[in-house]
Amino acid sequence: MKNFFWALALIVALFSCCETDFELNAPYKTIPVVYGLLDQSLDTQFVKINKSYLADVNNANFAPINDCTQFDYILAVLEEYNQNNVYLGSDTLQEMMVGNLEPGIFYEDSQKIYFLETSSNSFVDEHTYKLNVNVPDKELTFSAQTDLVNGAGLIFDFLSKITLQINGFRCADNDLATTDEYFDPRLDWKTTLNGKRYELVLRFSYAEHLLSGDTIQKFMEWDLGDQTSVNTDGGESMFKVVSGSSFFEMVQSRLSSYTLEDQIEKRTFDSKAIEFILTAGNENLNTYMQINEPVTSIVTERPIFTNVENGIGLFGSKFSRSLKSFMSNGTVLELCRGQITNEFKFCCDSAEQIIAISNLTGGVQVGCN
């Protein structure tokens, strides 16, 4: 009997050692994933609402399948509360499919998003807004809420506005015969209530005239960086110095590898070609961005930030304000005839500016033939 016991124990041990199958994944649980930023400077609010997915093989293989990441039907409602947390009303978000997506691991032909059309008086800066979502077939509910960035308090400095209005965007001199001299214009602004992170973008708009006779309106955006305020009370002074030489280098870098350059006859721009776009994000947005910034230390683990109850993601707010300007004579001259960007066929179609530049330079032409 003793020998039989040891033999049985050996057989069980052998079978146990040969058993290599085990479950890598825990039982699947639907986790909502939300990303939305309310912005009262826009006429439409967009919210992306997806679900998590789980596979027994490489998860990347399932990312391009829309059914894996999208809910079939949800009821999403945006509720408004005043300063005393009193409910004031709600609006229901609608769903739509959007296409023309950039290449990536997820489904590229179209994706489902949720939107709400709003007017200039749809939001009150001092109120709180709560997103409530119900998924009937999953018996699932989740929510998130946010304050608003105070749009009225986000203002460009008066002197910055007047300088652009009088001198235009001035980052180069008026004389190509001398060593290029670049200027570095400065833009100042004041922070606003509930704004924590501030991003400044320069947008340069232009038109491409093709040899075929077609004209395409285009723009390039230059991220000038962001800054974080010490608090969210507003009234703090901030500024950004724009490198004049870097502006032309930015234009060169965007167009130097353009594959259809041989089809371009000329590029023109109007009197409001330069636009500064200042965007303020609230504290939740700032925290989310800080956590997801590139790792610069040997510690690669990231904490998880979410303000979505019963889900993950971000529901925050931002506000954008813009300031448009013409380009100074020296900037136009440098763009059209300067050594950095002269190969890209920029020309000026403003008769007044063409004559002024010709008089300043002794006859240099920047007009379109």
Query: What pairs with residue 214 in β-bridges?
Result: none
- Tell me the pTM: 0.85
The pLDDT of 248-271, averaged and rounded, is 94
**pLDDT surpassing 50 at residue 104:** yes
d(CA 116, CA 98): 15
User: Residues near 347 by Cβ (< 8 Å), separated by ≥ 6?
Assistant: 266, 267, 268, 336, 366, 367, 368, 369
Q: What is the pLDDT of residue 7?
A: 44
Quote the pLDDT of residue 176.
67
Supply the Cα-derived Rg of the chain in whole angstroms.
28
Average pLDDT of the residues in 276-301: 85
At 181 the pLDDT is: 82
Closest by CA position to 181, among listed 166, 191, 171: 171
Q: Which residues contact 125 (CB under 8 A, 6 or more apart)?
A: 40, 148, 149, 150, 151, 152, 193
Mean of all residue pLDDT scores within the chain: 86
Q: Give the residue from 70, 136, 77, 62 showing the smallest Cα distance to 98.
A: 70
Which ranges of the chain does DSSP label H, i.e. alpha helix? Answer: 2-18, 66-69, 158-167, 244-255, 283-291, 329-337, 351-361
CA distance 111 to 357: 49
Q: Are strands 75-81 and 128-135 parallel, antiparallel or unpaired?
A: antiparallel
When comparing pLDDT for 250 and 69, which is higher? Answer: 250
Residue 172 and residue 248: Cα distance in Å, rounded? 10
Q: What does the pLDDT average to over 215-233?
A: 96
Which pLDDT score, from 0 to 100, does residue 55 have?
58
